[in-house]
Amino acid sequence: MKAKLFDYIDRDNFIFNLSGLTKLVCFICMTFSVMFSYDIRYILFVALLSIIFFRMSGVQFRQIKLMLIYVAIFLLMNFLLTFLFSPKYGTEIYGTTHEIFRLTSRYVVTQEQLLYQVTKLTKYASVVPLGMIFLLTTNPSEFAASLSRVGCNYKGAYAVSLTLRYFPDMIRDYQDIALAQQSRGLDLSKKEKLGVRVKNVMNICVPLIFSTLDRIELITNAMDLRGFGKYKKRTWYVAKKLRKSDWFSMLFGALVLAGSLAMSFVVNGSRFWNPFVA
């Protein structure tokens, strides 16, 4: 089946067969392990794991292409702005200065600053595959059922399910409205000036907002007609029991988190790995 942007398409592989709760626990553990540590060695290890898991999931590149472009732009802007506003923060963290070259008296590129910024960029980049795996391999209904099983209020779980389902619908609405506007002569290509293109995009966003409000009203009326919220509990049509693979995966996620804490408090003595001190 040809996958579309942010579509959930069921596949028969190890990642897809895991419970939604399992994937949430592993996502939280691995994300926290990366965000807590500033040891680029361990961050690269987790990044490698996330790439391996992404390949195992079988998610197609076309499903995440647009998101990767936005993430790349964000990472580049973050890298430049960090150096612009805090060009000496790396030297303050590591306590040494190894100059590479000098731009001005304020903006001096040092090994310490470069290590800090590359580590920070790698932290963010390593989380992206994990988020994509969770978003694109989790059945929203099954995930809501998993949350309900661990004590989450079913209303909140159902809200999470609707949110996960709405992402691909919103993307499809945007594409449909954009095609309709372009057939009427709206130009979004690079031929137009940036200001005109921004204005044309706003002409797409306004109908998208109104279609979103209509969809919310439709869903609300449908839930009211079905008596949603009348009882304290509900049954779930799509529910998956935790299997050995789920427990093994959650244990693995906990070990990754424990490894990050061990590297920080036992090996390095702090969150930062300092290669500049002998």
The pLDDT tens digits of the residues spanning 21-54 come to 888 889 999 999 999 989 999 999 999 999 999 8
Determine, yes or no, domain membership for 144. Answer: no
Task: Concatenate the DSSP letters of all residues of 243-256 into one string.
Answer: -HHHHHHHHHHHHH
The reply to whether 32 falls in a domain is yes
Counting Cα atoms < 13 Å in the Cβ hemisphere of 264 gives 16
Whether residues 170 and 108 share a domain: the answer is no
Buried b (16+ CB within 10 A) or exposed e, 42-53: bbebbbebbeeb
pLDDT value at position 2? 47
Q: Which amino acid is at 236?
A: W
> Would residue 261 count as lying in a domain?
yes
Domain carrying residue 210: 152-237
Tokens representing residue 180 in the block: 């309709």
Classify residue 18 by burial, with Cβ atoms within 10 Å: 0-12, 13-18, 19+: buried
Same domain for 89 and 212?
A: no
**Band of pLDDT at residue 99, cut at 50, 70 and 90:** confident
Largest CA distance in the chain: 70
Decide if 69 contacts 12 (C-beta within 8 A): no
Dihedrals phi, psi of 38, to nearest 5 degrees: -120, 25
Distance of alpha carbon 28 from alpha carbon 50, whole angstroms: 13
Within this chain, do residues 111 and 233 fall inside the same structural domain, yes or no?
no
Query: How many domains is the chain built from?
Result: 2
Q: Name the residue among 30, 44, 10, 36 with its Cα closest to residue 249.
A: 30
Q: How many CB atoms lie within 10 A of CB 154?
A: 20
- Quick one: 167 and 83 in the same domain? no
Question: Within this chain, do residues 128 and 191 fall inside the same structural domain, yes or no?
Answer: no
What is the C-alpha to C-alpha distance for residues 124 and 71, in angstroms, rounded to an integer?
9
Question: Is 159 found in the same domain as 51?
Answer: no
Can you give the pTM of this predicted structure? 0.76
The answer to whether residue 226 scores a pLDDT higher than 70 is: no
Does 147 have pLDDT greater than 70?
yes
What's the average model confidence in pLDDT over 85-102? 87
Flag whether 147 is in a domain.
no
Answer yes or no: do 5 and 85 share one domain: yes
Same domain for 212 and 77: no
d(CA 251, CA 17): 17
**Is 42 a member of any domain?**
yes
My answer on whether 119 and 30 are in the same domain is yes
Q: Is residue 145 part of a domain?
A: no
Let me know whether 228 and 246 are in one domain.
no
Q: Within a domain: residue 224? A: yes
Tokens standing for 190?
């690079």
**135 and 45 housed in the same domain:** yes
The reply to whether 118 falls in a domain is yes
Mean pLDDT computed over every residue of the chain: 81
Using a pLDDT cut of 90, give the percent of the chain over it: 19
As given in the structure block, the two tokens for residue 18 are 């895991």
Nearest to 73 by CA among 126, 9, 124: 124
Residue 99, H or E segment = strand 99-102
pLDDT, tens only, 179-218: 777 777 776 666 667 677 777 777 777 777 777 777 777 7
If asked whether residues 210 and 249 sit together in one domain, one would say no
